[in-house]
Amino acid sequence: MSLAHLLARQALTRPDAPAIYSGTTLWATHAQWAQRSAALAHRLRAAGLQPGDRVVLFMSNHPRYLEILWGAWWAGLAVVPVNAKLHPAEVEWIIDNAQARWGFVTSDVAPRALAGLQHQIDIESAEADALLAPLSEAVPAPHDSAPGDLAWLFYTSGTTGRPKGVMLTHRNLMTMGLTYFVDVNAVDAGDAIVYGAPMSHGCGIYAIPHVMAGARHVVPASGGVEPAELFALGQALGPLSTFAAPTIVKRLVDHAEAQGLGPDDAARAFKTIVYGGAPMYLADIQRALRVMGPRFVQIYGQGETPMVATALSRRHIADTTYPDHAARLASVGVAQTPVQVRVAGPDGADLPLGEVGEVLVRGDTVMAGYWRNPEATAAAVRDGWLWTGDMGTLDTHSFLTLKDRSKDLLISGGSNIYPREVEEVLLTAPGVHEVAVVGAPDPEWGEVVVAFVVAAPEQATDAAALDAHCLAHIARFKRPKRYVFVDTLPKNNYGKVLKTQLRALAAQNPN
C-alpha cells in the first residue's frame, strides 16, 4: 500500500468534502484533488518517469504542493522537497545527489533554470495547468508501491557539512501518520491543518495524518507565518492545527499579547499547536500557556525518524498541578507509541537514569538509510538503533530531557557545559529576548562560553547585569566569559539557530 491510496480512499468515500483551501477560498474537494494528482501521475509516467524516480519540489508553500506530492506518489515516484530558502547552487547539489531529472518550482524561489534538471516546471505556468488538468479517460489507480519503497528523500539541514538524503519509505510515513492520532493530536474529518511553516519539512509531513482523517488543508495566501493572517484564518475556517518551530510559536504569542488576545480567542483560532524541531525554552512555553491556553503538544524527532521519537502531551503540558511541572515542561516527553527510546554511552550500553548520553531510537519510523551513503548509514543505524546525535537523560517516569546535540556540547577547563542550560537561565533575566550560547576556542580553558544576546526592546540590559544573573543561578564555571549583543540570531528556514555560524563569529572576535 502506498501513501497515494490514502487520497484515493477519501476521493471515493467523501468526494465532495472540502479538502484544500488557498486562504479562505476552496481550492479542491477530495475528488478534485485526486483527479488532478492522478492526472499528473499519468502524464509523468507517459513522459517516461519510472517508479522510484525522484522529483524535486523547490517551492514556497502553495496549494499545488499537496497535489504534486500525491501525484508523485500516485505514479510510484519519490519526492524530494527542498527548503525554499536554499541558494540555487545548494539545490543543484541536491538535484545532482538525488539524481533527479524533473523539478517543480515557484518562480519566487527559483528565478532561473536549475542545472541538472531536464524538466523544470513553474507550478503557476500553463504547462503545470495542463499536467494537472483532469483526464478525459478513466483515472488510473495508484501505482502499487511496496511499503519499503522510497516515498520522500529528506535532505538534512546540513548545518554541518553537506546535507545527507534521508530515505523515508511509505511504511515510515504511514507509521508516522497513524502515530499522530495516538500521541499528538486526535483529528476528525471536520478539522483543518494550516501550513504556515515550510511544507518541505515537518509541517508538510503532517499533511499525511490529515489526509488519513479526511480533514481540510489550509495554505495561507502569504504562504508563510503572518500571525494576524493565521488568527484570521482560524476564525474563518474553524480552529486550526499546525506545526511550528519554537520561534514561530513565540511570534504567535507576541502577536496575541500585543493584540490583547487571550486563551478564549486563541481557542477559537487554534485547536492544537504542535511545536518541536528546536529547543523550546521553559520561560517561552510558560508564557505561551499563559497567553494562549492549553493547546500545545511538543514532539521531538529528526529527519531520520520523522516527527517521531518522543512527545509531551497536551495533558502533561497543561497539568500545572503536577509537583515537578517545570521539569516536565523542560523535557521532550516520553517515547511515541511505535518506537523505543533509550540513552546510551559510546559503547551502546544503557546508562543509569539521570546520566547524560546519546539518544537512540528504534522502530518503524526509522529511515531506510542515507541515499547513496552506506558509510553514513552504518554509522547512524547500528543493530536497528538510530544514533540521533542528540544528548539527553531519562527520568524515572521515562521522560526524556535533551541537553544538546553532541557536537554542541562544550568543554571548558575539563568540565562539560551544555549550552542549553545556560540559555535557559539567561532567558529568565530581564531584558533578554533571545539568546544562543556557543563555545569559542581559548588557549587557557580549551573553550570558553560565549553568549549571543538579542535584547528585548522595552528593557535595557548589559553584560554586568547578565553576569550577576548567572552567578545567582548556575555554577560559576558555566557563566559566559563574553556577551555579544546582536539584532537577530542567524536561523535557517526551519527556525533552527545556526550555531556553526555563531561559533565562527565567536572564534573570529576573541574580545
What are the grid coordinates assigned to 316, written together? 502533561
Choices 10-18, 121-129, 236-244, 297-305; region in contact with ligand AMP by CB under 6 A = 297-305
* Type of residue at 149: D
> What's the closest the beta carbon of residue 448 comes to ligand AMP, in angstroms?
23
The reply on whether position 97 binds ligand AMP by CB under 6 A is: no
Interface pattern 115-154 for ligand AMP (x via CB under 6 A)? ----------------------------------------
The reply on whether position 403 binds ligand AMP by CB under 6 A is: no
What are the grid coordinates assigned to 125, written together? 505556468
- Considering only residues 402, 417, 422, 449, which one is a binding residue for ligand AMP as defined by CB under 6 A? 402
Choices 178-186, 276-284, 313-321, 349-357; region in contact with ligand AMP by CB under 6 A = 276-284
The reply on whether position 279 binds ligand AMP by CB under 6 A is: yes
> What's the closest the beta carbon of residue 246 comes to ligand AMP, in angstroms?
8
Rounded distance, CA 319 to CA 313, Å?
10
The reply on whether position 98 binds ligand AMP by CB under 6 A is: no
The reply on whether position 300 binds ligand AMP by CB under 6 A is: yes
> What's the closest the beta carbon of residue 201 comes to ligand AMP, in angstroms?
7
Per DSSP, which regions of 42-187 are E strands? Answer: 54-58, 78-81, 102-105, 119-122, 150-155, 165-169
- Reference 243, options 287, 291, 292, 276; nearest CA is 276
> What's the closest the beta carbon of residue 115 comes to ligand AMP, in angstroms?
25
The reply on whether position 392 binds ligand AMP by CB under 6 A is: no
- Max Cα–Cα distance, the chain, nearest Å: 75
Q: Vertex 36, ends 31 and 39: CA angle to 5°?
A: 120
The reply on whether position 302 binds ligand AMP by CB under 6 A is: yes
> What's the closest the beta carbon of residue 135 comes to ligand AMP, in angstroms?
37
Rounded distance, CA 453 to CA 459, Å?
13
Rounded distance, CA 317 to CA 294, Å?
7
Phi-psi region of 260 (alpha: psi -120 to 50; beta: other; left: phi over 0): left
- Considering only residues 298, 401, 412, 461, which one is a binding residue for ligand AMP as defined by CB under 6 A? 298
Residue 18 CB burial class (10 angstroms; 0-12, 13-18, ≥19): middle
Q: Which is nearer to ligand AMP, 235 or 493 (CB)?
A: 493
- Reference 293, options 270, 326, 277; nearest CA is 270
Rounded distance, CA 335 to CA 342, Å?
9
On the CB side of 102, how many CA atoms lie within 13 Å of its CA? 21
The reply on whether position 336 binds ligand AMP by CB under 6 A is: no
Residue 391 CB burial class (10 angstroms; 0-12, 13-18, ≥19): buried
> What's the closest the beta carbon of residue 309 comes to ligand AMP, in angstroms?
8
Q: Which 483-502 residues touch ligand AMP, going by CB under 6 A? A: 494
- Considering only residues 388, 393, 401, 412, which one is a binding residue for ligand AMP as defined by CB under 6 A? 388
Number of H helices, E strands in the chain: 18, 26
Q: Which is nearer to ligand AMP, 227 or 392 (CB)?
A: 392
Site size toward ligand AMP (CB under 6 A) is: 16
The reply on whether position 295 binds ligand AMP by CB under 6 A is: no
- Strands 334-335, 305-312: pairing is antiparallel
The reply on whether position 277 binds ligand AMP by CB under 6 A is: yes
3-state secondary structure of 191: coil
Contacts of 429 (CB under 8 A, 6+ apart): 461, 465, 466, 469
- Considering only residues 191, 358, 390, 423, which one is a binding residue for ligand AMP as defined by CB under 6 A? 390
- Considering only residues 81, 276, 357, 495, which one is a binding residue for ligand AMP as defined by CB under 6 A? 276
> What's the closest the beta carbon of residue 378 comes to ligand AMP, in angstroms?
19
DSSP 8-class letter at 478:
G
- CA distances in angstroms from 348 to 342, 352, 360, 387, listed in the order given: 10, 13, 9, 9
Q: Which is nearer to ligand AMP, 102 or 494 (CB)?
A: 494
Q: Would you tell me which residues interact with ligand AMP (CB under 6 A)?
A: 156-157, 276-279, 298, 300, 302-303, 332, 388, 390, 402, 405, 494
